[in-house]
Amino acid sequence: MNNLIIGGRCYKIMERGIELNKIIIPFIIFILLFCLVPVHATIPMDTTSDELQQHMSSDEIFFLRKAYPYENRALLNWQYFPMKQTNNDVDEQTLPSSPSVTSPAALNGPMNSSWPMKSYNAQRVGRTPYSTADNPGVEKWRFKTFGAGGVDSGAAVADDGTIYFGGKDARVYALYPNGTLKWLYITETGWQSIYSVPALAADGTIYVTSCDWYLYALCPNGNLKWKFNTGEIISSSPVIADDGTIYIGHSQGRVFAVSPNGTELWHYDLMNDIYGSPALGSDGTIYIGCWDDRLYALNPNGTLKWWFPTGNHVKGVPSVASDGTIYFGSWDGHLYALYPNGTMRWRCRVGSGTETTPALAADGTIYVGGDELYAVYPNGTMRWTFYLGSDRHIFTSCPAVAAEGTIYVGVDVGETTAGEILAVNPDGTERWRKIISDEWVDSSPAIAADGTVYIGSTGMNYGNGLHAFGPVESNLPPGTPVIWNETFSFPGRVCIFRLTAIDPDHNPIQFYVDWGDGSVTNETQEINSGGSLLLTHTWTVSGFYTIRVKSQDTWGAESNWSAFIVEIKDIMLNNVILFGRINNYNYDPDRDEAQFTAKRLWIIDPNPFSIERLTHGEWIYAEHYRGESTQFTIGFFDCYILRNDIY
């Protein structure tokens, strides 16, 4: 049956093959004779750009290798980086081909805060002196990035509690501890992703890299201090030495040493690409992995110290223990421990391999992610293995260890199905976990001085921002929900409702819905405060229905009920013909329904005969229509005749 809804009235559309009323046939013949040259309207249809297939360059190689061994992940990330990378400044900048040394100016080491850079410090130990023993594992707020892509890197936390992170929407964000925006900075091109965790200097300078080739230095107020052109895509998270030197590596294998004033001190070219970040030894040695299956050690003056071969790519970031032992993973399936002279101390099997930075507990236990979460004794024997669950793995999320020993890490469900944050006790038992994304969580956790844990996510409809888990001092209930939808429909039609509410504490919220027909929806998925959620419902009986909705935050505080009335009407007219002009045509494939507004439109009802004119933009909904270009026939004067497609 084919139905039509106009304003508050519901109709059936005339089906093909039904004999027209005698009064209507002469009218249609007249229109056809008048329109000497009929033209078929073209209805816009979605097309898929072939730019991805046509573009073959180092950019594409970057994403394929960065996502190794997950090829689907590379394609999804590529959609946030769809254009040819260009950089006009690179030809003007002199990049020496051999190490050169300049005395650094304005020496300035790393900030003394709870989490000033990736994996806590320059040695990348992934352990903070602050406890999370009082952290209940409840999400106290969630900040959604302004653009697409989410957060795959991680956050740095300043000594004043400000949280800094970069998104795949080409923005650097600064948030207050309550989750509100302090400022944001849009990088050079405004569209290339940021995979770098910011590094914070003692004077408050924020260093972060972007896929637009630049290392940025930002002031604490968000203004640009300087930017350094590396000449290639870069996802490396900066590391700051005690003398203020910043070390990074770009995707074509070049390691840079940059002074705090933004000038290059030296660079060194490795044999292949770099997809990780450098770590520093206590003597200033720079350790960094390479796609050529090696870990490299460079002297502080930019000369090669040694390299160590493995059986596959070294994409992750090494960590350095207090005794100088260097820990790192390879995709050959092993976690390695090396002496400071580059000889192997031991290696331990860790599934198919890893590129997460090993986190070092106070008792010397090494935690690393992969097919499972692995805990390894300092002598290289396995302490325990934590089973992540069915079809779960840890990709690039680097474990973070709190003072009491709790390990936090991001876990992917499938390759692109969902993502969660996981908390594990030091004995290998689960403390808590929560799904926070409908795509993945590759972000590395950061721990604040008050025990709050921050982690990013990438999501299509759920997640896609920075999440904060931790205790709160007080909590207010969320605001009364607001509901949007048409106020009428007919029996059997799927109605779509958009719900939103604002929480004064920026806590995530969920909804409880009473549909007014005896059915209820309890505990919808959580959304950001101020975000929106789509729900559907279908009524089978005509009448007026009052929908009641309330919201609840993650701490259990509830709002007042809001109400929304929907009228469900039976079909009123059959075999209706439309003639005239329409606007705002849209085909909804989920409902198999055409939607448009009347501009100068006549409704012709042959039984009994009547003509009604609509001129005020009334919405019209026609059921069971294909979204094809032959749906409308257009003649002179933009006249339209609506023609039904019967299945």
Residue 165 and residue 249 in one domain: yes
Residue type (1 letter), 306? W
Q: Quick one: CA dihedral 286, 235, 457, 465, positive or negative?
A: positive
Could you tell me which of 230, 242, 159, 161 has the C-alpha nearest to residue 196? 230
Q: Would residue 35 count as lying in a domain?
A: yes
Query: CA-to-CA distance for 211 and 189, rounded, in angstroms?
Result: 10
Which pLDDT tens digit goes with each residue over 152-181?
A: 999 999 999 999 999 988 899 999 999 999
Residue 517 and residue 382 in one domain: no
In the predicted model, what is the mean pLDDT of the chain?
Answer: 81
Distance from CA of residue 450 to its chain's centroid? 26
The answer to whether residue 638 sits within a structural domain is yes
End-to-end CA separation in angstroms for the chain: 10
Name the pairing type of β-strands 366-369 and 359-360: antiparallel
Question: Contact, 214 vs 192, CB < 8 A?
Answer: no
Q: Are residues 267 and 379 in the same domain?
A: yes
Q: How far is Cα 459 from Cα 148, in angstroms, rounded to an integer?
A: 9
Nearest to 443 by CA among 237, 251, 599, 250: 237
E strand or H helix that includes residue 31: helix 24-34
Whole-angstrom Cα distance, residue 118 to residue 124? Answer: 7
What stretches in the chain show pLDDT beneath 50? 1-3, 5-56, 78-106, 572-573, 626-647
**Is 369 a domain residue?**
yes
Q: What CATH number is attached to the domain comprising 283?
A: 2.130.10.10
In the DSSP assignment, the letter for residue 20 is: P
Nearest CA among 209, 210, 206 for reference residue 220: 206
CATH at residue 560: 2.60.40.10
Indicate if 543 and 588 belong to the same structural domain: no
Say if CB 573 and CB 12 are below 8 A apart.
Answer: yes
Residues 360 and 347 in one domain: yes
Long-range contacts of 62-66 (CB under 8 A, 24+ apart): 62/211, 62/233, 62/235, 62/251, 62/273, 65/273, 65/275, 65/291, 65/313, 65/315, 66/195, 66/235, 66/275, 66/315
Residues 211 and 236 in one domain: yes
Number of domains in the chain: 3
Distance CA 356, CA 537 (A): 44
Decide if 76 is inside a domain.
Answer: no
Query: 264 with 321, same domain?
Result: yes
Q: Is residue 380 part of a domain?
A: yes
Residue the block writes with tokens 């072939």: 50
Query: Do both 112 and 204 map to the same domain?
Result: yes
pLDDT of residue 58: 59
Strands 319-320 and 326-329: antiparallel
Note the pLDDT tens digit of each residue in 503-523. Answer: 998 888 999 999 999 999 988
Residue 507 lies in a domain: yes
User: Which pLDDT does position 62 carry in this prediction?
Assistant: 67
Query: Considering 517, 551, 568, which residue would you say is the last residue of a domain?
Result: 568
Same domain flag for 148 and 120: yes
Does a structural domain hold residue 73? no
Same domain, 340 and 400: yes
Torsion from C-alpha of 244, 291, 320, 234, nearest 10 degrees: 30
Which of the listed residues 528, 544, 568 is the one where a domain comes to its end? 568
- The predicted pLDDT at position 472 comes to 85
- Answer with the one of 412, 443, 469 that is the final residue of a domain: 469
**Quick one: 210 and 241 in the same domain?**
yes
The pLDDT value recorded for residue 612 is 75
Question: Residue 427 and residue 204: Cα distance in Å, rounded?
Answer: 37
Q: Are residues 26 and 131 in the same domain?
A: no
Q: Is residue 84 part of a domain?
A: no
Which residues span the domain enclosing 344?
A: 90-469
Distance CA 151, CA 464 (A): 7
DSSP secondary structure, 42-105, as one string: ---------HHHH--SHHHHHHHHHTTT-HHHHHHHHTTS-S----TTGGGS---SS-------
Q: Is 636 helix (H, G, I), strand (E, B) or coil?
A: helix
265, 302 contact by CB (below 8 A): yes
Cβ of 638: how many Cβ atoms within 10 Å? 12
Tokens of 411: 């876990």
Residues forming beta bridges with residue 368, ordered by sequence position = 374
pLDDT of 588: 74
Q: What is the pLDDT of residue 88?
A: 38
